[in-house]
Structure 1
């Protein structure tokens, strides 16, 4: 009989954590069935990536995951969780799953909490009230999983998570898929033209990604270029306003969310990321696996993820001129850019394979339930 896993998400639109959660669901196959709760019930786009044959359901009218602290709400969440074999909670928006187990722990199933990073409101400074709340709630978790060394340090120093309950599992992808030639029609509305450098990024269009800054950066380039921003979200209008303000109509393409990044990432020449905060972004791994150089700020673990020759194209400074200059150098030196991309590809193959990630999560979840090997 398959185990029954409850997934408590802040949102289930496709982003890094959702993509990983879906890949694990697909990998576990018929060994598990899944119930998914999104704190934002209309944001469920990630379910489109769940393989046919995987048993899952979207919970109907679950207790709310967000709201003011309330004994009644915690009790409702705890009662709801008791029917499952394992509860997986994701990020700040679902931390109340852990808090409910902290307050009403009797009969609670094992809980594994996942932290993947912060939104714009904690990009530069962690909220002390939230830190205290996490510190209290996470005592109920059997384990906390993080993808980066930066978050590993925060979990111990700020949230009081002991090393025996803390796991760092690097994100992983099927790197071999990115070695194939990209589909020339993989990005709707885009055609790669000779002599044009393509700068690309993949991101949820949210304030923490600061994509208007990327628009401002490429606007100052002397090289012929196209900018492709793959993703969807509430910042679309602000990005479009920046495009218009910088006179880049026709040079910036926003095709929305696209599945199967391996089909199109190789159409880019340079990958750029202007986020205020990241940890171990899957999009950077995808770019590396496709053989691209990466221009980004030194947030999270990015500096340790990319190859050594790529590191000089990262910067602790975040302004349009800094990003522009680094992108321009790569654009004007295609052979050097290609060599950096190949070094990134080799590093991605060596460090960020999907199989290793799946094994690590399967082992952790089985251990939390006291049933080693149950998920493979």
Structure 2
């Protein structure tokens, strides 16, 4: 374990860092030193090499059998640092090496971060996580599904699991976008229902089309996302006679220029990953209609929670759309409640402060 002097900032080892890691590194500035282990050996986009930020040299390969010799090499590579931050399943061997040799080599604390639930449940990986994370100082998860997995499947103690939602710039989303600042122009008198769809959720999008078809003609449906438009959805649009009311503009380069133009935001599928676009809608003071899945219940303001609907409950979705469409003051009240909750609980500054406390506590050293 590094014996940092008071002259040098604490030294962190990042294994398979994410875009959020890059944001945190930038936010912490010169208060920490960073060495990053990536698959290609280069720094992630957004970072440049300095005396305080550098790629790892000669770190043991992340792939291979968890044999004692390989694990020992990994453990030895951690000794020069004050804190080890691992990310995702690809970094679990590093966590395993830490558990195996922490006491023998006096290794620094390790905090593991999981970002997305496993696509498929694997008993082998579940057991490996249980063992590998056995001596970690913390396990960071963004939402309810992963929190439940950490507590139940991986059998980690409650005090070790830290639920930290990814923060967003709530001030940026609070600014009302220009009506012509997006590739579509929102004309006076038009009202927009927005959805940021997943290409795998064709059934949910089709259900939304049918529910939307019952709304007045001054409402338009804006479907954001990549590779959403399919022949089957086009056929449904034709059948419902919505050709001039449904648009597929793709993925906006700047979400702040479009989310705030929505009068209602809809999420048609349960949350598999952390629903960042739902949070963006909250920050933009937009009321949300979403599938009741636990995650949305936790994130949304209390005033918005009664507008959640069960998966595949098309009639409820249609009724909720009609009710909100007919009541502008209600939409405004729910949207403002969402905005306040986003500012209080989901702002980027709050997230950065939470990570700062967590990392400082693990190192037993403030920065």
**TM-score, normalised via structure 2 length:** 0.78
The structure with more radius of gyration: 2
Counterpart position of 2:256: 262
> What whole-Å deviation, never above 9, does each CA across 1:6-30 have from its counterpart, x for those lacking one?
3333x84xxxxx3x43332222011
Counterpart position of 2:45: 47
Question: How far apart are 1:38 and its partner, in Å?
Answer: 4.6
Question: Given that residues 7 and 87 in structure 1 are in contact (C-alpha distance below 8 angstroms), is that contact kept between their aligned partners in structure 2?
Answer: yes
Structure 1 residues 225 and 170, CA gap change in structure 2 (3 angstroms): same
For 1:179 and 1:217, the matched residues in 2 are separated by: 30
Question: Given that residues 279 and 299 in structure 1 are in contact (C-alpha distance below 8 angstroms), is that contact kept between their aligned partners in structure 2?
Answer: no
Counterpart position of 1:289: 283
The gaps in structure 1 that reach 5 residues or longer are: 13-17, 231-235
**Alignment partner of 1:258: what SS?**
coil
For 1:320 and 1:73, the matched residues in 2 are separated by: 54
Question: How far apart are 1:80 and its partner, in Å?
Answer: 4.3
Residue in structure 2 matching 1:218, options 208, 232, 240: 208
The size of the alignment, in residue pairs, is 348
For 1:214 and 1:82, the matched residues in 2 are separated by: 50
**Alignment partner of 1:287: what SS?**
helix
Counterpart position of 2:354: 360
Question: Given that residues 173 and 280 in structure 2 are in contact (C-alpha distance below 8 angstroms), is that contact kept between their aligned partners in structure 1?
Answer: yes
For 2:364 and 2:318, the matched residues in 1 are separated by: 52
The gaps in structure 2 that reach 5 residues or longer are: 1-7
Structure 1 residues 211 and 192, CA gap change in structure 2 (3 angstroms): farther
> What whole-Å deviation, never above 9, does each CA across 1:265-313 have from its counterpart, x for those lacking one?
2122222223443475333222111101112222243212212231122
Residue in structure 2 matching 1:315, options 302, 309, 312: 309
For 1:317 and 1:81, the matched residues in 2 are separated by: 46
> What whole-Å deviation, never above 9, does each CA across 1:314-345 have from its counterpart, x for those lacking one?
12324666545544543344332222111211
For 1:237 and 1:179, the matched residues in 2 are separated by: 28
For 2:264 and 2:71, the matched residues in 1 are separated by: 47
Question: How far apart are 1:4 and its partner, in Å?
Answer: 3.2
RMSD: 3.7
Counterpart position of 2:4: none
Counterpart position of 2:97: 100
Structure 1 residues 81 and 258, CA gap change in structure 2 (3 angstroms): farther
